[in-house]
Chain A
Amino acid sequence: MGCKEFKYSSFEVYISEVIMFSVFFGQYLLNEGALNREDLNRLLDISKKTRVKLGVLAINSGLMTADNVNRVNQLQTKIDKRFGQISIDEGFLTEPELGILLSVQDSEHLKLSQTLIDQHIMSYEEVESYLKKYKSTFSLSDEAFEDLRDGKARTIINAYLNFDNDAFSDLYKEYITLFYKNVVRFIDSNIRIDHVEIIESKQYDYIIKQDIIGHKRIYTGFGAKTETLVKFASQYADESFHSLDDYAQDALGEFLNLNNGLYLVNLSDYGVDMDLEIQTIQKNHLIESNKVYCIPFFTTFGRVDLLLSLNPIV
């Protein structure tokens, strides 16, 4: 068999999804004669360092027209306010809509559109027109839906979670957003979260814990009543558990392990390498710790508390 070709299959798919829109939209513009190959390659190169602005996001989402964006840009030359605030003042956006747009501002897939405007290749109207034509030619409903869901998760988390200027609030929010998405994906699509609480003492029927280790140690876990966790485990393992037997407990631990593994992959992308300890599960556990953040997740079958801290959860 000899030398093997190594491929990181899932990650390849993820990366290609992220850049897919820019590449495909670029190809579409090429086919339409809007750009030549040389310009497209140059623009794709520039777009890697481009920051997508709210105007392009708003046009892409359909929340604002190119005329609206031009109007806000004109007003910005006279009024010392941010683009988002002027858009709200002018009635083009509501605050929740602005929140959603801000939460997806790092969208890689719109960078080519932004670059076309920044490089004066196209006006907002032309980008809007080509985006509309492109979207009608190729169904993007799934992607748009995904963006909205991503935005929704982050928007809710930003709105609900006040970490009182904790220096690590971004780290926590990133973690909670991921946990939220995984609960929606694997456990229950009808969840809501409530405001973060700081707990020092709390009793749980069961608590599932895993430490993330590296230059900092992050203590993670979740706790709930037995009957809630039985249903949680059943959902994840696709089984019908009637008690928290070894298999059901394994499913709970594996869910946390999956979430934390993905969190480490995200950190790795930022150049931060951390590791995971083996997860543990404890019965009738009384937490007595200093400053543990507790984020209540209300599933359709009961409350599950996500627990996060830089202090040991014991």
Chain B
Amino acid sequence: MCYNIISSLMGGVSNILKILICDDSITIRKKLQGAINIDKEIEFIEAKNGQEAFELYKEKKPNVVFMDIIMPEKDGIEALTDIMNFDSEAIVIMLSSVGTKKNLKDALQSGASDFIQKPWDVKNLNTVLLKYI
């Protein structure tokens, strides 16, 4: 498993926003952390596939999940389903380059809160995130 704590953990944990980023691409995981710019202390947790994401969700209970769709081992829709079955209140924002009607429908039916098409617009990305925190 792979997770990084980017922000300082010196302070109290309770006020830190936990964001789980699940994408098989390290490029996307790093770029996304750089793009998120909100006035909150953030702990980023990284997962490389859907299975890791589900395990980390149970362990870390993040406030928000950004989830890719096409990934090895367990894809984003399967991981979304697992997470929603575990926690029906979970906030999962799909973040995919493949925003086809089929993927949108699958994500909606599986309980996704939102869908952002890659490449993201930074302003839009942060606006969407702020809606859920």
Contacts and interface: CB of A to CB of B under 8 A. Distances in A.
Contact of B70 (A7, A8, A251, A278): A278
Interface string A228-260: 000000001110000000110011011001101
Classify the interface of chain A: helix, strand, loop or mixed: helix
Nearest to A2: B89
Interface string A272-283: 011110100000
Interface in A274-313: 274-276, 278
Interface string B99-133: 11110100010011111111111001001100000
Contact of B72 (A236, A276, A278): A278
Contacts of B102: 268, 273
Contacts of B36: none
B98 interface: yes
Interface residues of B, number: 35
B124 A13 contact: yes
30 contacts: A1-B89, A4-B113, A6-B115, A7-B114, A7-B115, A8-B99, A8-B115, A8-B117, A9-B114, A9-B116, A9-B127, A10-B99, A10-B120, A10-B124, A11-B115, A13-B124, A186-B119, A246-B26, A247-B26, A258-B97, A258-B118, A258-B119, A260-B97, A262-B117, A264-B98, A264-B100, A268-B100, A275-B98, A276-B70, A278-B24
Top 8 A-B residue pairs of the complex, sorted by shortest distance between their CB atoms? A261-B97, A10-B117, A268-B100, A261-B98, A254-B25, A251-B27, A254-B27, A258-B97
Interface of B: 24-28, 30-31, 34, 70-72, 89, 96-102, 104, 108, 111-121, 124, 127-128
